Amino acid sequence: MSDAANMNVPYEAGRYRSPDGVPTDIVVFTITSLQRSTAQKSLPERTLQVLLIRRRQAPFEGSWALPGGFTREGETVAECARRELLEETGVADFHLDYFNVYSRPDRDPRGWMISHAFMALVQEAALAERKTSDEAAEVRLVPVEEALQLELAFDHGDILRDALAKVRTSMMTTAIAKEFLPEMFTISELYQVITTVVPEFEERNFIRKITSTRSRKGILEEARGEDGQPLQSNRYSQRPAQLYRFTDYTPELSIYG
């Protein structure tokens, strides 16, 4: 039948197979900090972690999984992701990005479930009071490398691997590092956050490049007090270091430029 002929055929929902459900799965990344036991001040030990829940119900009862749930009628998948994360963890304020859809027919033993996956970046402090829902027996932060070795429920292992690749790319191409930092920070703290997410990143001239290279200049600004004087901190160093903050500027980088 031609396209023109198809346009005149009334749509009948019964002619098409609909999914049995449209769930969302959320990969929640955070960076935890652990103070080092050293005589001199130093940066804390930082670890990239992911939030996992232990399922209370079948299927995969007792298995670790990503938080998530089914989209309700009249709700967008993004609204579902935010609601589910609030219900299952108590977290309400976070950076949320959509990154993929998972539709393999056998991904869920309950039926054909097309899952929409989101990546949330959350400050460690926001997860301190995390809680469980009726569907979760336990909620826990797990180092990403450890989580990758677990046999997660459904296809959540695949989703986690894809999300990790996504956050690593975004860390190198956008300003999402600010989601893991306080409003004001030192260059050393910024560098450590980047290498926590992207371990292979190494740049000896990082301070010069991030503050003076034309394509990056304007991403950061020196933090100043009400009197206009530069603000400094010696929280992690013997000498006071200049504090910086991210601006709203987004550089337009191109592989062709």
What string of pLDDT tens digits covers the 257 residues of the chain? 555 556 678 888 888 888 999 999 999 999 999 988 776 788 899 999 999 999 999 999 999 999 999 999 999 999 999 999 888 777 787 899 999 999 999 999 999 999 999 999 999 988 877 777 677 789 899 999 999 999 999 999 999 999 999 999 999 999 999 999 999 999 999 999 999 999 999 988 888 888 775 556 688 999 999 999 999 999 888 899 999 999 998 877 766 75
Q: 130 to each of 83, 121, 123, how far by Cα in Å? A: 14, 15, 12
pLDDT at 39: 67
Q: 95 to each of 91, 119, 171, 187, 247, how far by Cα in Å? A: 11, 8, 14, 22, 17
Would strands 23-34 and 68-70 be described as parallel, antiparallel, or unpaired? antiparallel
Mapped onto helix, strand or coil, the DSSP state of residue 36 is coil
36 in a domain, yes or no?
A: yes
Q: What are 121's strand-pairing partners?
A: 29, 95
Torsion over CA of 121, 76, 73 and 154, rounded to 10 degrees?
-50
Q: Respond yes or no: is residue 138 known to be catalytic.
A: yes
Helix (H) / strand (E) element for 143: namely strand 136-143
Q: What are 224's strand-pairing partners?
A: 230
pLDDT at 2: 56
Q: What are 52's strand-pairing partners?
A: 140
Straight-line distance from the first to the last Cα atom of the chain, in angstroms, rounded to the nearest whole number: 47
| Cβ atoms of residues 154 and 65 within 8 Å | yes
- How far is 82 from 147, CA to CA, in rounded Å? 22
Q: What are 32's strand-pairing partners?
A: 47
% helix / strand / coil in the chain, to the nearest 5? Answer: 25, 25, 45
**188 with 96, same domain?**
no
**164 with 188, same domain?**
no
53 in a domain, yes or no?
A: yes
**Cis ω before 59 (30° cut-off from 0):** yes
Whole-prediction pTM value? 0.90
**111 with 146, same domain?**
yes
**184 with 168, same domain?**
no
Domain that holds residue 105: 23-173
**129 with 40, same domain?**
yes
229 in a domain, yes or no?
A: yes
Residue finishing a domain among 144, 173, 202:
173
**128 with 186, same domain?**
no
Q: Which of 138, 146, 203, 222 is catalytic?
A: 138
pLDDT at 204: 85
**92 with 139, same domain?**
yes
**150 with 213, same domain?**
no
Question: Domain total for the chain?
Answer: 2
Look up tokens 């930082």; give the residue: 46
